Amino acid sequence: MQGNNHDDVRRHNLSIILRLVHRGGAASRAQLTRLTGLNRSTIGALVAELVERGLVEERTPDPTKLAGRPSPIVAASDRIVAIAVNPEIDAITVGAVALSGVVHRLIRYATPSSPSIAEAVTITAGIVAKLKRDLGEYSIIGIGVAVPGLVRASDGLVRHAPHLGWVDEPLCDLLAAATGIPVVAANDASLGVTAERYFGSGQGLTDLVYLNGGSSGIGGGLVIGGVAAGGQAGYAGEFGHTRVSDGIDTDSAGIAGTLEAEVTRHALLAALGLQAGETDADTLERALLASDSLIVRNLVNRQLDFLAIALASAVNMLNPQLIVLGGFLAALHAVDPERLNVAVAALTLPAAFAEVSIAPAVLGSNLLMIGAAELAFEALLVDPQQDRGNTTGLPLLGFRAADTAAPTFSTSQGHPLS
């Protein structure tokens, strides 16, 4: 229950403009005027401040067919960069993502075994140090980490990452100390839903359920009423432990009859005769679609029916607009979307089912990079004036590398923003 003062208005308006150009792509000043309802002169002043802070750039107007004075294009800067990190069992992936959506760098560092927390921090810090040098002229405003496990929202403590064997590890503090850059972390599936919500199949929706099927289990994330729902401590979205049967098989948490116990990637691979380590999501989907084995088909149907029970629970409880399926759940869905639809319809209230869609995730391998970068950008998007009070005259947005060697890009590719 905080009161508003003038600074809040300015901050809010700057925040809205920055969010619009970051998430919606470049927009003309005239478009911003219409979208925000603010006055032309106000937009002019706000954009000027964002330009001065280096957060957006103004480009010459696009040639348009309309009469009238052309409006300059406002685009999020390529030079404001977040570092996205995703530690996994066999590799650590690090990306440098600009506010504009451009992925400047994408580095996958394979590890011989599942990294300990110390190894993960050391490896990441090393990659970050290199990125600092390479991206010397860019402002690195933060690091976002997508963790395959439970992450406490308040301080980024990794409560339990079963896959990696981490328990109660202060990942954020360690990585911040090792790099000198602010670090935020969250559950990977929560970040997946963030990415899908802003840049994927959930654009513009307010009530969104995301389920991701990974090799170690099923996780998910929620957007409810337009806000990412983390729950009290950030553990929301654990769909894998939803009860779907009276079976006795247990999941990773030792609970019987859950979605994660009944619907597994492992079982699908085994039925197909594929090796776990060598099969990515696309390969699995192609193999499932190509298979004419009755055993495989029966397994798929069985898993789809269990999945439907969990989705039905979510639909009845949350009345979402869209359910997004990622990982091997997307592959399952691709085999027989109609079966899933019918099964969910049979278990839900007609009114709630009427306007829900079930769709595969559209963002591919960059999903977690985009989500983790978004997490790191959030502080800046909430308050684009973070460096106010700075009297040095220098931009203080996050860390600025001292080294100014010309950057060379190994990867440079935009979000599917437009």
Partner DNA sequence: GTGATACGTTGCCAATGTCAACAAATCATC
Partner DNA sequence: GATGATTTGTTGACATTGGCAACGTATCAC
- Nearer Cβ to DNA, position 66 or 402? 66
What gap in Å lies between CA 317 and CA 332, rounded to an integer? 23
Site string for DNA, 23-42 (x = CB under 7 A): -----xxx--x---xxxxxx
The answer to whether 189 and 367 have CB atoms below 8 angstroms apart is no
Interface of this chain with its own copies, residues 167 to 186, rule: CB under 8 A: none
The binder of 242, among DNA, its own copies, none, by C-beta within 5 to 8 A per type, is its own copies
Smallest distance from its own copies to CB 98, Å: 21
The binder of 40, among its own copies, DNA, none, by C-beta within 5 to 8 A per type, is DNA
Q: Are strands 322-327 and 357-360 parallel, antiparallel or unpaired?
A: parallel
Q: Where do we find the tokens 């980490």?
A: 145
The binder of 110, among its own copies, DNA, none, by C-beta within 5 to 8 A per type, is none
- Nearer Cβ to its own copies, position 320 or 360? 320
The binder of 344, among DNA, its own copies, none, by C-beta within 5 to 8 A per type, is none
Burial of 228 (0-12, 13-18, 19+ CB in 10 A): buried
Choose, by CB under 7 A, the member of 63, 254, 277, 389 that binds DNA: 63
Choose, by CB under 8 A, the member of 91, 178, 347, 379 that binds its own copies: 347
Per residue, the 3-state secondary structure of the chain, as one string, reads CCCCCHHHHHHHHHHHHHHHHHHCCCEEHHHHHHHHCCCHHHHHHHHHHHHHCCCEEEECCCCCCCCCCCCCEEEECCCEEEEEEEECCCEEEEEEEECCCCEEEEEEEECCCCCCHHHHHHHHHHHHHHHHHHCCCCEEEEEEEEECCEECCCCCCEEEECCCCEEEECHHHHHHHHHCCCEEEEEHHHHHHHHHHHHCCCCCCCCEEEEEEECCEEEEEEEECCEEECCCCCCCCCHHHCECCCCCCECCCCCECEHHHHCCHHHHHHHHCCCCCCCCHHHHHHHHHHCCCHHHHHHHHHHHHHHHHHHHHHHHHHCCCEEEEEEHHHHHHHHCHHHHHHHHHHCCCHHHHHCCEEEECCCCCCHHHHHHHHHHHHHHHHCCCCCCCCCCCCCCCCEECCCCCCCCCCCCECCCCC
Smallest distance from its own copies to CB 10, Å: 9
Smallest distance from DNA to CB 97, Å: 28
- Which of the ranges 75-83, 124-132, 310-318, 397-405 carries the binding residues for its own copies, by CB under 8 A? 310-318
Choose, by CB under 7 A, the member of 22, 53, 55, 71 that binds DNA: 71
The binder of 274, among its own copies, DNA, none, by C-beta within 5 to 8 A per type, is none
55 sits near DNA (criterion: CB under 7 A): no
Interface of this chain with its own copies, residues 190 to 249, rule: CB under 8 A: 206-207, 222, 224-225, 227-246
- Which of the ranges 138-146, 261-269, 314-322, 407-415 carries the binding residues for its own copies, by CB under 8 A? 314-322
The binder of 61, among DNA, its own copies, none, by C-beta within 5 to 8 A per type, is DNA
44 sits near DNA (criterion: CB under 7 A): yes
- Nearer Cβ to its own copies, position 109 or 353? 353
Q: Which two tokens stand for residue 253?
A: 């948490």
316 sits near its own copies (criterion: CB under 8 A): yes
The answer to whether 377 and 339 have CB atoms below 8 angstroms apart is no
2 sits near DNA (criterion: CB under 7 A): no
The binder of 312, among its own copies, DNA, none, by C-beta within 5 to 8 A per type, is its own copies
Choose, by CB under 7 A, the member of 1, 5, 112, 389 that binds DNA: 5
CB atoms under 10 Å from CB of 113, counted, come to 8
Q: Which two tokens stand for residue 119?
A: 């190894």
Smallest distance from its own copies to CB 313, Å: 5
Choose, by CB under 8 A, the member of 351, 394, 402, 406 that binds its own copies: 351
- Nearer Cβ to DNA, position 3 or 393? 3
The answer to whether 206 and 226 have CB atoms below 8 angstroms apart is yes
Positions touching its own copies (CB under 8 A) are 1-6, 8-9, 12-13, 16, 19-20, 35-38, 42, 150, 152, 159-160, 206-207, 222, 224-225, 227-246, 253, 255, 309, 312-314, 316-321, 346-349, 351-352, 355-356
Positions touching DNA (CB under 7 A) are 3-7, 9-10, 13, 28-30, 33, 37-46, 61, 63-72
